[in-house]
Amino acid sequence: MSPTLPSFAPFPEAPWRDHIVPVEWEVCLSSWLALTDAYLSLSEHDLLRHIKQDESIASFQASFVHEVATSGTIILGSSRTGALLFRQCFLLCSRLLHLSSAPLQVLTWEFLSDFGRLYGKKKAGLPIEAASQTPGAEASLQGLKKSLIQSLDSGVKGDLASLETRLKRLNHLIHMSPHVAAFFLAGSDFLDGLVSCFKVMNPPLRKAIITTAYLCLIGLTEGDSPKYSMLADQLYSLKAAADAHRAGPLNANDSMVSELVTTTPILKQVQSRLETSDTGLTRTKPVITALEGYRKPGASARPKRLIKRRIDKGKGIMTEDQSDLVGEMRVHRMSQISQIQDLFPDLGSSFVSQLLDEYNDNTEQVIAHLLEDSLPPHLAGADRTKELSPERIRRKSHDIAPRSTPPQIPTRHNVYDDDELDQLAVDTSRLHFGKRNPERTTDDILNDRSSAPNKAAILSALSAFDADDDERDDTYDAVDAGFVVNDGHPDDADEQKRKDAGEEALFRAYRSDPKSFDRDAATRRSEARAKLKQATGMTDEAIEGWAVMLGRTPHQMKQLEVKYSASSGSQPVLASTAWRAPSARSHPEDSDGELGDVGSRGSHDRGRGRGRGRGRGGGRGGSAAGPTGDKETENARKRKEANKGSRANHNRRDQRARKMGRGGFPG
């Protein structure tokens, strides 16, 4: 009886792998490799016993295959240990799949798909074909088929992203196993679901549907016993679906059948294999001919084959024409590579490029040989996952004709030329690096009064400063106080005169006829508008805008009236600089104006207190000296006349009249 082996640790996912240092990762690979070799050395009976007792074997293989298939073999590193583990895991997986009672974890369709994607059809095709016919694998495929049919029939109401992911993952398994292709085409539900879901306008999903349909149909012609009868039935179903789509309201060229026969060589492949086997050709040939009629017009014409000319690698200059030709060839080659990789996603771009070179850029021959697995020996053993190296920018050669010797560097000159240091005549005792006296401390510098300023000089400077001088008042420097002619700049004065003349013309025109500022075509063509534009030099939009802004600012209209109507000269407006307490009744434009005497009788500022002398405090809401017609002013005047007797105002008035009559002075 063999000893019990330790369990496998699952292969870590990407977030965990990022936290493992390279040294520890190499130890993990070595441990997995040692355990894999140990399990491979067991007999079938002992291996079955270990699998039943320890589920970590199948769990590790499933996690390893999934992670490496998803992220690529680069995650194993470039060491020999990673390459050996990659090979030994394939041997262990193949052995598990050939067991009479294989673990269920390696019989799921996800594992089989990842296994085929990772190791290719040549290596993994036979184990997958054998495992796919077991009851455990068929149960997994049956659940997948049922869920896919439901998602396909749901259309836009279903989860399209999940459907696309599952179809792309399933395509690897269908490509590996003809039995899986026949399993999904058994009945018409799956194919009908592909045809109906193709109506959804989702390009990536449509691409996955076309690939699935192609691989399923071409899989019926492969294997030990091709199913040509089932193939003929499915082709007739496709023809019926294409006829129904053409009879409907949708575009006839936007069906899955048209896209399938146009972008894939399905019809040529089927016809070629039928002719080779000489089975079912009589029944299938008419439907193939009928499906040819659904090919999109103009799409069958192949692009012109480019001849790869050998570029001279001598000393000649590479011309732009040659560069353009190489670029055009590269674009065409990448298009062919992507077309083949759509059907065989596990192939690397470098391997596909080698196949195109082998078969003279014939895409159909490359696909046919890949499906038949009939590649030449030097390509059959090549690395199928190899990618093209990143393109490097080719440096073009330039004219390297000899040039004349450049002149010598000119001599640099500065203000210190020919001084004593330049002539090396300075005394060496005056030269030093860093501080002149590094032993001198801060206390020594502060105690040294040789360089201190003279006290008499400081006192003399202070005596010249008069602390009692007031700060100069510059309040009215920038504003004309009534006696400054101009600011000393003739150009600015002339510019201001021109602006005033234009503003006056606009104001007088607005006063005489405001309709001349309307925004309509008739007003703009009028004679008044023409004269106004000539006088001001402004455009129609500027003139109309001036009138709009004038209507929005009533106080500007008052200023213009004072400026151009009351007097002929221009008097600058001096704003008061003294602070005034804001009044609750004052308006925003009157907030800087004079507020009246705080001790006057009838003042409407309640917070000022009582007035001087015998006057009463304010706060009644009005003043007898207010504007005529104001309601509060009239009420104040009535109260004043009614209370004259009680306040003896008439006595003071009469007494003052007598004094003035005797020649006295007021006061």
Least confident of 93-107, 450-464, 528-542, 611-625: 611-625
Percent of the chain beyond pLDDT 70? 75
With the C-alpha atoms ordered 230, 232, 238, 241, is the resulting torsion angle positive or negative? negative
Kindly list the distances between the CA atom of residue 225 and the CA atoms of 219, 230, 412, 621, in Å, as whole numbers in the listed order: 11, 12, 92, 114
Inform me whether the pLDDT recorded for 604 exceeds 70: no
Q: Is residue 49 part of a domain?
A: yes
Q: Is residue 514 part of a domain?
A: yes
Which residues are CB-contacts of 28 (< 8 A; sequence separation ≥ 6)? 9, 20
Domain that holds residue 234: 138-298
CB 88 within 8 A of CB 36: yes
CB 600 within 8 A of CB 619: no
pLDDT the model gives residue 574: 54
Inform me whether the pLDDT recorded for 614 exceeds 50: no
Q: Is residue 400 part of a domain?
A: no
Q: What is the pLDDT of residues 37-94, one digit of tens each?
A: 998 898 888 888 888 888 888 899 999 999 999 888 888 888 899 899 999 999 999 9
pLDDT the model gives residue 663: 67
Burial of 5 (0-12, 13-18, 19+ CB in 10 A): middle
> What is the tally of structural domains in the chain?
4
With the C-alpha atoms ordered 410, 415, 418, 422, is the resulting torsion angle positive or negative? negative
Inform me whether the pLDDT recorded for 601 exceeds 70: no
Q: Which of 106, 127, 146 is a domain's end point?
A: 106
CB 500 within 8 A of CB 570: yes
Tokens coding 558: 């008052």
Q: Are residues 142 and 283 in the same domain?
A: yes
Q: Is residue 281 part of a domain?
A: yes
pLDDT the model gives residue 476: 59
Q: Is residue 553 part of a domain?
A: yes
Q: Are residues 178 and 281 in the same domain?
A: yes
pLDDT the model gives residue 621: 52
Maximum Cα interatomic distance, the chain, rounded to a whole number of Å: 153
Q: Are residues 163 and 63 in the same domain?
A: no
SS3 (DSSP) at 494: helix
SS3 (DSSP) at 362: coil
pLDDT the model gives residue 84: 92
Q: Are residues 101 and 212 in the same domain?
A: no
pLDDT the model gives residue 500: 84
Q: 611 versus 73: which is more confidently predicted?
A: 73
The CATH number of the domain where 373 resides is what?
1.10.8.10
Q: What is the pLDDT of residues 641-655, one digit of tens each?
A: 665 555 556 667 777
pLDDT the model gives residue 481: 47
Q: Are residues 250 and 358 in the same domain?
A: no
Least confident of 78-87, 318-327, 407-416: 318-327
Pure H helices in 98-250: 109-131, 135-154, 160-176, 178-185, 189-197, 203-219, 228-247
The arithmetic mean of pLDDT across residues 308-330, rounded, is 57
Assign 464 a pLDDT band (cuts: 50, 70, 90). Answer: confident
Distance CA 83, CA 156 (A): 44
CB 209 within 8 A of CB 167: yes
Q: Is residue 375 part of a domain?
A: yes
Assign 232 a pLDDT band (cuts: 50, 70, 90). Answer: confident
Distance CA 76, CA 68 (A): 8
Kindly list the distances between the CA atom of residue 658 and the CA atoms of 573, 644, 647, 662, 667, in Å, as whole numbers in the listed order: 44, 19, 20, 6, 13
Inform me whether the pLDDT recorded for 291 exceeds 70: yes
Q: Are residues 169 and 271 in the same domain?
A: yes
pTM above 0.85, yes or no: no
Inform me whether the pLDDT recorded for 576 exceeds 70: no
Inform me whether the pLDDT recorded for 146 exceeds 50: yes
Tokens coding 438: 């590094």
Q: Are residues 162 and 246 in the same domain?
A: yes
pLDDT the model gives residue 589: 44
Q: Are residues 237 and 337 in the same domain?
A: no
Q: Is residue 658 part of a domain?
A: no
Inform me whether the pLDDT recorded for 320 exceeds 50: no
Average predicted confidence (pLDDT) for the chain = 78
Q: Are residues 151 and 265 in the same domain?
A: yes
Instruction: Give residue 118's identity as a one-letter amino acid code.
Output: L
pLDDT the model gives residue 212: 92
Q: 473 versus 229: which is more confidently predicted?
A: 229
Q: What is the pLDDT of residues 388-398, one digit of tens each?
A: 766 544 444 44
Each residue of 535-572: b (16+ CB within 10 Å) or e? Answer: ebebebeebbebbeebeeeeeeeeebeebbeeeeeeee
Name the E strands within 594-635: none
Which residues are CB-contacts of 94 (< 8 A; sequence separation ≥ 6)? 124, 127
pLDDT the model gives residue 113: 92
Q: Are residues 96 and 153 in the same domain?
A: no
Distance CA 381, CA 112 (A): 23
Q: Are residues 142 and 69 in the same domain?
A: no
Q: What is the pLDDT of residues 157-210, one digit of tens each?
A: 888 899 999 999 999 999 999 999 999 988 888 888 898 888 888 889 999 999
Inform me whether the pLDDT recorded for 542 exceeds 60: yes
pLDDT the model gives residue 619: 47
Q: Are residues 160 and 224 in the same domain?
A: yes
Least confident of 198-212, 307-321, 348-362, 382-396: 307-321
Q: Is residue 453 part of a domain?
A: no
Kindly list the distances between the CA atom of residue 286 and the CA atoms of 119, 240, 243, 256, 520, in Å, as whole numbers in the listed order: 39, 13, 15, 20, 76
Distance CA 20, CA 662 (A): 119
Q: 393 versus 550: which is more confidently predicted?
A: 550
